[in-house]
Amino acid sequence: MAPSLLDLAPVVPVVVIEDASDAVPLARALVAGGLPAIEVTLRTPVALDAIRAIAGEVPEAVVGAGTVLTPEQVKESVAAGARFLVSPGWTDVLLEAMRASGVPFLPGVSTTSEVVALLERGVREMKFFPAQAAGGTAYLRSLAGPLPQARFCPTGGIGPANAAEYLSLPNVGCVGGTWMIPDDAVAARDWGRIEELARAAAGLRAL
């Protein structure tokens, strides 16, 4: 059985790429630092080109598409080479499209009812978003008792100060974040600094 997306690394970098030429060196820096699962959000016009470039030139990366909102985006992302899909929320239409894509997916939830609805539909792995605003570690800890079968990748408001607390929870497999790809480092194309930050993030599981 293939390893779960939630078990590839303790942190999934959530990447917003403005310049497609940054995609490959950024992905190589993250992989070198120990973070192979990379979520490229569909928030910029070059996102699909970035996914295509990473999929084609950085085979050791597991590149996925984030902020997936429509069935059309599901198809475009998989066609570009995305190996997983992440959405900030879900509907039955979007869920069926992601299920039909053949790649792992993390539909977004922020309430107990949404978690129960996904469990009812056979989905056990989900994104918890926006994590801090929706109740943070206290909320997730409360879900672990009645809903132990649900596992989460919390994203939103997570950084080096609180990531370890999230990762210590029994129902959290990994967290998503942007702190290892600061805007100034990307602007300066300081891939060495990004690799160092990625390595520190990858070490969180051992703490």
Active site residues: 39, 127
Separation of alpha carbons 69 and 128, rounded Å: 16
Q: What distances in angstroms separate CA 190 from CA 29, 53, 95, 176, one per listed residue? A: 9, 19, 38, 21
Residues 6+ apart with CB under 8 A from 128: 108, 109, 110, 134, 140, 152, 153, 154, 155
The token pair at 69 is 């909102």
Helices 47-57 and 23-32, packing angle to 10 deg:
50
Give the chain's count of helices (H) and strands (E). Answer: 9, 9
Separation of alpha carbons 31 and 165, rounded Å: 24
Closest CA to 37 of 71, 68, 16, 60: 60
